[in-house]
Amino acid sequence: MEQKGFKCSDSGKACVNQFYFQAQLGSHNEKKLYEGKECGTAFIHSRRLGTECWKACSSHLVLTRHNQIHTGEKPYECTECGKAYINNSSLTRHKQTHTGRKPYECTECGKAFSSPSALTSHNRMHTGEKPYKCNKCAKAYVYNSSLTLHKRMHTVGKTYECTECEKAFYSRSVLVRHNRIHTGEKPYECDRCGKAYICNSSLTKHKRTHIGEKPYECTECGKTFNSHLILTSHNQFHTGEKSYECNECGRAYLYKGSLIKHRRMHTGGKPYKCTKCGEPFSSHSALTDHSRIHFGEKPYECNEYVKASSGHSGLTTHK
């Protein structure tokens, strides 16, 4: 066995090389070389960073770049649009959005991406792999950014609250998206038919209806879908799994949306208000049915008897 050549006189511990030997000495004299500017956590050598920001750095250069997250410094600026980034690699990826070049193609569905990391993340939708696991509750995610957002739940909780319905969120961006439900703002518009959506992901799913693209296939029955989320919900019909459970009464649902609507029975929350008469409702679908009373619209027709109803529940009652 190779003899360890560097021995600490304080503890008697032997080290393989000088790097680890210096780190060992540093642990005794508490010399801390690198310190995070914002979180104040100091560490003996650049391989360690405190648990304040959950980040470990391998060199002083990486630490310097990491500190830009805290300071907000973005020295790498795009000459095309002026958008700035923390590091050069992020700027390089961004520049490809201007050229439209997407050389990395998914072998499953043919979708193309501008970077190999984006393709790797996309492939997880097909494989179901979730490599980013929470060390507090073991919940797993496809993206590291999703895990970071989830960790806020354990550390700071839901700090962003909606002033309309008092619902709270872990990030400002999710709150902004939620507020569009109340304001009716739909900034993402389809360039083919003009239909608009609250978030970009909904627009992306909608665009697939024009081209007939349904890349997500059920392995049980062969049915295809235009989003991974819809496929996941569909799979629960085969398994019978109802993963969304009410913590008040224990009732379980296939869909998260169904659970949210159910919970309003306990809280009495009615965030959807009619702009014509001001009557509030617990769900968007109930508001839509109500609005038809004002406009005289009756889209649900009985095929047994020629009588139309303004709401689907009204048609069911008639039958």
263, 271 contact by CB (below 8 A): no
- Which residues in the chain are classed under CATH 3.30.160.60? 76-155, 166-266
Say whether pLDDT at 88 is over 80: yes
Q: What is the pLDDT of residues 214-248, one digit of tens each?
A: 878 888 888 888 777 788 778 877 877 777 888 88
DSSP string, 169-219: ESSHHHHHHHHHHHH----EE-TTT--EESSHHHHHHHHHHHHT---EE-T
Q: Which CATH superfamily is domain 166-266 in?
A: Classic Zinc Finger (3.30.160.60)
Query: Comparing 3-17, 56-70, 131-145, 264-278, which segment has the lowest mean pLDDT?
Result: 3-17
Q: Note the helical H segments in 221-311.
A: 228-239, 256-267, 284-295
Mean pLDDT of the chain: 73
CATH fold group of domain 6-71: Double Stranded RNA Binding Domain (3.30.160)
Q: What is the model's pLDDT at position 170?
A: 74
At the top level of CATH, which class does the domain 76-155 belong to? alpha beta
- Angle among Cα 311, 316, 319 to the nearest 5 degrees reads 130
Q: What is the model's pLDDT at position 30?
A: 41
- pTM of the predicted model over 0.85: no
Question: Helix, strand, coil proportions of the chain in percent (round to 5)?
Answer: 40, 15, 45
Q: What is the model's pLDDT at position 83?
A: 81
279 by DSSP, 3-state: which? coil
Say whether pLDDT at 253 is over 80: yes
161, 152 contact by CB (below 8 A): no
